[in-house]
């Protein structure tokens, strides 16, 4: 009986000791470190989310088409540029979409009064694709503005 009673007393004594452990006072230094860690973690996750969103979004591209056309001026033929407006697109153009865009600009030129009156013909077509509107505008102006 003594053998059973002794372990039971020890077990009860251990339980009472664990329950009576003093609680620790909050340490402002440790709390501020933990708060900074949580804030930094939040900032890092926000930065990762922002980068993922930017990568997932399709980057805008700016596109225009230039036609080199030949027109009759009586006894003279002249070469001229016919340049489309700059269009912004949010996806990469497939070869079919590029061809459709070029054909649309050719159709617009051929149906214009100048092309009809001067028997206009398309000699060359080019498509230009840029990452910014400023670059596209600068290149487009080289075909439109003469000094």
Look at the chain and count its residues. Answer: 147
- Give the pLDDT confidence of 4-16 residue by residue, as tens digits: 555 555 555 555 5
Q: How high is the mean pLDDT of the chain?
A: 79
Task: Give Cβ neighbours of residue 128 (< 8 Å, ≥ 6 apart).
Answer: 63, 64, 65, 66, 136, 139, 140
- Give the pLDDT confidence of 58-115 residue by residue, as tens digits: 578 899 999 999 988 888 888 888 899 998 887 777 888 888 989 999 998 889 888 8
């Amino acid at each position: 009986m003594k053998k059973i009673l002794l372990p039971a007393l020890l077990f009860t004594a251990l339980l009472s000791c664990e329950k009576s452990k003093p609680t620790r006072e909050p340490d402002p230094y440790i709390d501020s470190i933990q708060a900074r860690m949580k804030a930094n973690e939040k900032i890092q996750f926000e930065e990762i989310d922002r980068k993922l969103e930017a990568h997932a979004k399709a980057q805008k591209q700016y596109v225009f088409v230039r036609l080199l056309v030949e027109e009759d001026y009586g006894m003279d033929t002249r070469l001229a540029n016919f340049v489309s407006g700059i269009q912004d697109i949010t996806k990469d153009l497939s070869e079919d979409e590029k061809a459709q865009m070029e054909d649309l600009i050719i159709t617009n030129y051929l149906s214009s009064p100048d092309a009809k009156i001067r028997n206009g013909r398309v000699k060359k077509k080019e498509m230009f694709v840029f990452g910014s509107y400023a670059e596209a505008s600068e290149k487009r102006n080289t075909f439109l503005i003469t000094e």
